[in-house]
Amino acid sequence: MIRPIATTREATGIPTGRLAVWWVIASEIVIFGGLLGSYLMHRLGHPEWAYQSVHTNTAAGAFNTFVLLTSSLFAVLAHDAAEHKDGKKAAKYLMITCLGGLTFLCVKGAEWTHEIREGFTLTSNTFWSFYYTAAGLHGIHVIAGMIIMLFVAADAAKGKELQRVENIGIYWHFVDLVWIFLFPLLYIAK
């Protein structure tokens, strides 16, 4: 069987597929880092944002942190199952991870609906511009991760391409990691 180059071949000591994921993460650090760095600087320079940030829902943010940490647990359990060549179990854990992502998005959707109804929109204040941009960009990454995970899980269930379980797991943990910083910045620093 002819295998694609970017799967298990390695020229750097790391399988090419996994190295690619690390490069994606490196570029994502610049994207999210730039955004969060800008937010932090503006937040410190604009004390009046405290009047706006007080309206974010800390309980919803904390619950979503719990959801993402739990989904990360299942992603790493999927990796562990793949290491033991148990594709079916890995697929099952990946599906639970996806469910975590879906829960996260549902909570975010409910939160945004409430905030928009209260009159806090993307254009109402620079704080809310940052809030929707950062959380929205993060949400897009959650959706992308879930879509890729479904494909990986479908293959893993057949015992195929099990190395991809680890790759998507690394990406998912990074998405979790970004949220770990977004949570205190947007929900706790009132």
Partner 1 sequence: MSETTSTSKTYPLGLSEHGFQYVKIWGLLLGLLVVSVVGPMIGIRWLTLVTAFGIAFVKAFIVATRFMHINLERKFVTYMVAGMLAFMLVMVAGISPDVLKHEGHHWVNKAANDAVDRGEKEGAAHAGEHEGAAEKPEAPAAEHH
Residues in touch with partner 1 (CB under 8 A):
12-14, 19, 22-23, 25-27, 29-30, 33-34, 37-38, 40-42, 44-52, 58, 62, 65-66, 69-70, 72-73, 75-77, 80, 83-84, 125-126, 169-170, 173-174, 176-177, 180-181, 183-184, 188-190
Task: Find tokens 């940052």 and name the residue.
Answer: 130
Closest approach of Cβ 91 to partner 1, in Å? 15
By C-beta, is 3 or 119 nearer to partner 1?
119
State how far the Cα of 143 lies from the Cα of 170, in Å rounded to an integer: 15
Query: How big is the CA angle at 157 (ends 17 and 75), to the nearest 5 degrees?
Result: 60
Indicate the residue among 120 and 132 with the shorter CB distance to partner 1.
Answer: 120
As beta bridge partners, residue 10 has: 15
Residues sharing a CB contact under 8 Å with residue 151, sequence separation 6 or more, in sequence order: none
Distance CA 64, CA 70 (A): 10
Provide the minimum distance between the beta carbon of 1 and partner 1 in the complex, in angstroms, as a whole number.
28
